[in-house]
Amino acid sequence: MSLEFAKKLAAHETPIPGVVLYDLPVHGDNRGWFKENWQREKMLAVGLPDFRPVQNNISFNEKAGTTRGIHAEPWDKFISVATGRIFGAWVDLREGPSFGAVFTAELDASQAIFIPRGVGNAFQTLEDNTAYTYLVNDHWSADAQGQYTFLNLADETAAIEWPIPLAQAELSEKDKAHPRMADVARMPAKKVLVVGADGQLGKALRGAYDGDATVEFAGRAEFDLASAEAFTNRNWNNYSTIVNAAAYTAVDAAETAEGRAAAWAVNVSAVAQLARAAVEHNLTLVHISSDYVFDGTREVHTEDEAFTPLGVYGQTKAAGDAVVSVVPRHYIVRTSWVIGEGNNFVRTMASLAARGVKPSVVNDQTGRLSFTDDIAAFIRHLLESKAPYGAYNFSNDGLVKSWADIAADVYEQSGASRRDVSGVTTAEYFKDKAAAPRPLSSVLSLAKAQSTGFDVADAEARLTAYLKAENDKA
């Protein structure tokens, strides 16, 4: 069979999600032929995942009818033929709705196919002296063999029509002993790891992913960001994503010598470790940022605004954002005025209202509340919708208000009088107090978040629902 020369590089979807067949341009003349078997830039342009191969293997098969498989391995593979021709068979052995899906095709040197982790791979040579080559994105090791999944080549459910009947083909004894479909150990999906899972946002993420076995939650006891062993003792190949819900948020304490060191350790040094793991293992890193990376002099803050932090806390969050921005697959979710399970401004105001206290509340800082359930839902939306990587502002939508306005809303909905709340300027409130500087405007533009198709809930409606839920708990 002669090769077809001068085909264009092209991608063809298959019935198995993530498995894509590629036509490769082959250039030939009287001397023979030449092809670019792997060309990252061109292949990414036609949709090949940037799976970052680290090892290249070649399987030489002397006789037609040599048959190998069906093996699902814990890494991605980019398969092509160097010489000869094969009949390839691929079966989805991953947990999920596409389990058992089958795709077959004949491949020569002008084609290649991308096989994601967990899809069973098999081939049968159709010509003598066939060389089969594959790139993989993890180094082979004896330990990795324990994560393989196998299917018998003769499985009746897959019903693969081998060109050369298996009784006449060359098979290994191991391949003959592989299980039928009903007994296959399905390849589990890669996991999302949520670190800092015991904080306000971590608890909301637990709720957002309740019952989802592909999401793993780690508090400090399970993943200590200050420990080097937490990073080195984990098999990152089992994960696709890290969500960093951990942060040092004691804004005023960060201005002290002890607090400054703690803020930099959690908000920068630990983030750098997470970023390094993400880069080395090609993971997506989701990081939570803050309006404090801005000085608050602009009326509305957009994602492309330059960092202008006023205090130590804001400086550490800006530094953490800069670190995360160099991770190829990252989402920075920048929030303001976070309200969730735990101590927060709304709970404090509700408590004061119940006790008949008439507080003075800052009236020259403006913004919108960000409820953790909505932040968690937005993070899940970004990951599941595969939104473009980058920074996204996120708060709840609606009217821009001051802290005093929100306090008055809480008082009114708690059965007290709005007039019990009096307004005071930031300068007056913090006079003679050791406090960090605050941005006066924390209003975040939501246009980019909304452009992803996410419906941003109104802050006033969420406040009403939150207070009702708090009252129901009491």
Q: What is the DSSP letter of 89?
A: E
Rounded to an integer, what distance in angstroms lies between the CA atom of residue 262 and that of residue 283? 26
Query: To which residue do tokens 């390839």 refer?
Result: 88
Number of residues that make up the chain = 474
Among this protein's residues, is 134 annotated catalytic? yes
Nearest to 194 by CA among 354, 375, 340, 319: 375
Rounded to an integer, what distance in angstroms lies between the CA atom of residue 420 and that of residue 387? 45
Catalytic annotation, pick one of 12, 22, 27, 71: 71
Nearest to 51 by CA among 113, 122, 132, 144: 113
Give 133's Cβ-side CA count (13 Å radius).
Answer: 16
Query: To which residue do tokens 């937005």 refer?
Result: 378
Count the Cβ atoms, other than its own, within 10 Å of residue 204: 22
User: 397 forms bridges with which residues in the sheet?
Assistant: 458
Catalytic annotation, pick one of 12, 22, 27, 134: 134
Nearest to 415 by CA among 366, 355, 328, 367: 355
Nearest to 126 by CA among 63, 33, 78, 176: 63
Among this protein's residues, is 27 annotated catalytic? no
Q: Which amino acid is at 63?
A: K
Q: 230 with 223: CB under 8 angstroms?
A: yes
Distance of CA 459 to the CA centre of its chain: 26
Assign residue 78 a region (left: φ > 0; alpha: ψ between -120 and 50; beta: otherwise): beta
Q: 150 with 71: CB under 8 angstroms?
A: yes
Strand positions, DSSP E, 266-368: 284-290, 330-335, 338-339, 360-362, 366-367
Rounded to an integer, what distance in angstroms lies between the CA atom of residue 230 and that of residue 244? 14
What are the distances in angstroms from CA 347 to CA 68, 249, 344, 469?
Answer: 63, 17, 6, 11
Rounded to an integer, what distance in angstroms lies between the CA atom of residue 243 and that of residue 264? 19
For 163, residues 6+ apart whose C-beta sits below 8 A from its C-beta are: 87, 124, 126
User: 287 forms bridges with which residues in the sheet?
Assistant: 244, 332
Rounded to an integer, what distance in angstroms lies between the CA atom of residue 401 and that of residue 28? 69
- Helix count and strand count (H, E) for the chain: 13, 25
Active-site residue list: 71, 134
